Chain A
Amino acid sequence: QVQLQESGPGLVKPSETLSLTCAVSGDSISSTHWWSWVRQPPGKGLEWIGEIFHSGITHYNPSLKSRVTISVDNSKSQFSLRLTPVTAADTAVYYCLRTYCDYTSCFYFDSWGQGTLVTVSS
């Protein structure tokens, strides 16, 4: 069973860079699946940030595209999120997840990390 674990600073100053890493276990990061980031501001709904394939191909939410970079490290079985510059509006729980995709089906999020709260504040 795949497991995902987010890690990174819980507090980031405005105008600086939010950096998170997701460690993947129980599945090869080089499989047929994609790997995504989703965030949820306190008391609000879910927002898809973007995804990456093990080859490095990425797709981003157009509303965040200018500020987001998602990268993958196949040797460490992890992928990362970088968001810059941040404002208070970027305060949220950030989830890393697997976007399931194989020869039978695709396009859904079947495994989620527990989430990590990132607060943007000076």
Chain B
Amino acid sequence: QSALTQPASVSGSPGQSITISCTGTSSDVGTYNAVSWYQQHPGKAPKLMIYDVNKRPSGVSNRFSGSKSGNTASLTISGLQAEDEADYYCSSYTSSITYVFGTGTKVTVL
């Protein structure tokens, strides 16, 4: 199974909005609403930010939102803050009863 495709890096100024894309196939993102997003700060374990395409776990800021169209899912961070600077990974359930992660995106706050 191939990793989902994400841009290597995305940047924005404080207060701006950025969007990270996550492109898969009809065997994963395109078929299942089982897309989730994870934030990882250096040296730390990943943290769940979005699940089921667009749901936020308790405690996650409403500045984070998710969506999906066809084989591509997206994570939008609005009102960008310095603390949002981190690596972000998408994940999807697949038709092979497995999971696949995205290639990862480094978010830089300018």
Contacts and interface: CB of A to CB of B under 8 A. Distances in A.
B38 A109 contact: yes
Contact of A109 (B3, B48, B55, B98): B48
A107 B34 contact: yes
Contacts of B104: 45-46
B36 A63 contact: no
Contacts of B98: 48, 59-62
A26 B67 CA distance: 32
Contacts of A14: none
A99 B98 CA distance: 12
A95 B45 contact: yes
Contact of A62 (B1, B32, B47, B91): B1
Interface of A: 36, 38, 45-48, 51, 59-63, 95, 99-100, 105-110, 112-115
The list of the 4 closest CB pairs from A to B, nearest first, reads A107-B34, A108-B51, A108-B36, A112-B45
Interface of B: 1, 3, 32, 34, 36, 38, 45-48, 51-52, 55, 57, 89, 91, 93, 96-104
